Chains A and B, each alone.
Chain A
Amino acid sequence: MQDPRIRIFVVVVLSVASFVSVAAALLAFLFWVAFTPGTAVLKKTASATFFLMIAIVSVFTWLTGGDGLSYFIRLSVVLLLALYAYYEYRPGEFLAVSVWAFGKRYGFDPGLIAEMSVQSIYDLEFDLSRIRMAIGQKGKKFGFRELIPVGGMIVLDQIRRAGDQADLLAVRGYTKGGSCCPRFRHEARDYLCALCAIIILILAFLPVRDIFILPQ
């Protein structure tokens, strides 16, 4: 999907649908298979960690009498959609969508904050990849012993970057608000995706027997 407005809309709508209904979650999964790059959005270690966390909570829910399987299916699909949104994000999109949605006066600051937050996640990912390389060079593996110094350095780096970013904004005269003229490109496929997402959302709130004529 090229248009970030439609992409964000689709991800939000499908996430809501997946959360409220297992049937909608399965349909959203089919959507994910058909309309996204699929497994390319799964970054191995991080994805595995997130899925493991969902699996642990699901098992705990099941052990305590809840519907663990339903929870696992619904949250897994929500996670797949989130990973897709992260994969497709291009710098500047949140700012553009926020300014488009809320105007220059009220949309610029939330958009800027969203951009900086996502950039921090990218920085964190980059830093971790370099740290892993550096630890490997010392003949070690990333383990509990390295957690404190590495974690400390990551936090200090993030604080340092935030300071640099604040200085840069101040030097450029930023106090609040700003000028941004977003432009969006879209294709027919974007509208098809949006339509599918809306249909799945509607189905999520309809009882299954109202959709299918079940044999009596």
Chain B
Amino acid sequence: MKELSFERVRYARGGFTLDADGVFGPGIHLVSGRVGSGKSTFALLAAGQLSPVSGKISTREISRAIVSMQFPEYHVTGITVRDEVSSWSPGPADVLETVRLAGRENDDIATLSRGEMKRLHLSCVLSAGADLLVLDEPFSSLDCTEKRFFSSEIAGHGTDIVIICTHEPLWLPDVDYIWEIRDGSLVSLGDLPGAIPGWDLAPGHIRDLVRAGRIPKNISPGAVLEALCRTRG
């Protein structure tokens, strides 16, 4: 079984520290945390782009790990939109249709807005054949329609291990596990729906539902709506 594990990992830079201990198996994992809590650092550690000062990060049966950084500009290596798409291997075939950029293949990549660039980047990343996909703030720079679209794309994608590091409150996919960064440490809250009541940084509408005794089965807008409309028996 594919696996990413953190064994008493500590990362430190200046006065900042992040501790992580836990195993990420197949499924979609949500890593939640306040701004500046270390979500992006964790994302880079998980994808093997940063090294811890102590502890061990290991993978099992993972052949390709990709981290999608918050700012899509970091990933740009092509001059035109077509160059950029083909820079991802294997090159996604119908990505431009998917992100509504068909006909702009020869445009300079710099002429895309950040939202367009993010759409293009996410679509390329999802098509790149990774079995460990770490998405750092995948919904930033996207409007509600696009957030909903990529939320369902991520949910239905079928990558073995997906880790979403975000503080997006609403347009989230259904996930399998929730983790939270509290006071510099990664804490496992477990699987759904059991993780929801203990989720300190849950969005306000989910906290309201928990307080009302209507714990949603998951965290996507559909699951939350179902809990909201649930008839008490």
Provide the residues of chain B in CB contact with A121, threshold 8 Å.
none
Q: Which of B75-83, B183-191, B217-225 forms contacts with chain A?
A: B75-83
A127 touches which one: B49, B74, B89, B110 (CB < 8 A)? B74
| B73 with A137: CB separation less than 8 A | no
| B77 with A149: CB separation less than 8 A | yes
A134 touches which one: B74, B89, B109, B110 (CB < 8 A)? B74
Chain A window 146-162, contacts with chain B (Cβ cutoff 8 Å), 1 for yes, 0 for no:
10111011001100000
Residue B149 is within 8 A (CB to CB) of chain A in the complex: no
| B76 with A150: CB separation less than 8 A | yes
Q: With A138-B87, A146-B77 in contact, do A130 and B110 touch (Cβ < 8 Å)?
A: no
Residue B69 is within 8 A (CB to CB) of chain A in the complex: yes
A: contact size bracket: 20 to 34
| A156 with B77: CB separation less than 8 A | no
| A153 with B88: CB separation less than 8 A | no
> Separation in Å of the B14 CB from the closest CB of chain A?
10
| B73 with A157: CB separation less than 8 A | yes
Residue A105 is within 8 A (CB to CB) of chain B in the complex: no
A152 touches which one: B47, B88, B89, B110 (CB < 8 A)? B110
B side interface size, CB within 8 A: 21
| B76 with A149: CB separation less than 8 A | yes
| B67 with A149: CB separation less than 8 A | no
Closest chain A residue, CB of each to CB of B73: A153
Q: With A149-B109, A152-B110, A153-B110 in contact, do A135 and B67 touch (Cβ < 8 Å)?
A: no
A133 touches which one: B44, B89, B109 (CB < 8 A)? B44
> Separation in Å of the A153 CB from the closest CB of chain B?
5
Residue B206 is within 8 A (CB to CB) of chain A in the complex: no
| A130 with B78: CB separation less than 8 A | no
| A134 with B78: CB separation less than 8 A | no
Provide the residues of chain A in CB contact with B49, threshold 8 Å.
133, 136
| B77 with A150: CB separation less than 8 A | yes
Closest chain A residue, CB of each to CB of B78: A149
A92-113 CB contacts (< 8 Å) to partner B? none
Residue B66 is within 8 A (CB to CB) of chain A in the complex: yes
Provide the residues of chain B in CB contact with A135, threshold 8 Å.
77
> Separation in Å of the A197 CB from the closest CB of chain B?
27
User: How long is the Cα–Cα vector from A140 to B88 in the complex, in angstroms?
Assistant: 10
Closest chain A residue, CB of each to CB of B69: A130
B89 touches which one: A139, A145, A146, A148 (CB < 8 A)? A139
Most chain A CB inside 10 Å of its own CB: which residue of B66, B71, B73, B75:
B73
Most chain A CB inside 10 Å of its own CB: which residue of B66, B67, B71, B77:
B77
| B88 with A149: CB separation less than 8 A | no
Chain B window 39-76, contacts with chain A (Cβ cutoff 8 Å), 1 for yes, 0 for no:
00000100101000000000000000011010101111
Beyond A133-B74, A134-B69, A138-B75, 5 additional pairs, beta carbon < 8 A: A134-B77, A135-B77, A137-B66, A149-B79, A152-B79
* Residues of chain A whose beta carbon lies under 8 Å from any beta carbon of chain B: 127, 130-131, 133-140, 145-146, 148-150, 152-153, 156-157
Can you show 22 pairs from A to B with CB atoms below 8 A apart? A127-B74, A130-B69, A130-B71, A130-B74, A131-B74, A133-B67, A133-B69, A134-B69, A134-B74, A137-B66, A137-B67, A138-B89, A139-B89, A140-B87, A149-B77, A149-B84, A149-B109, A150-B77, A152-B110, A153-B73, A153-B74, A156-B110
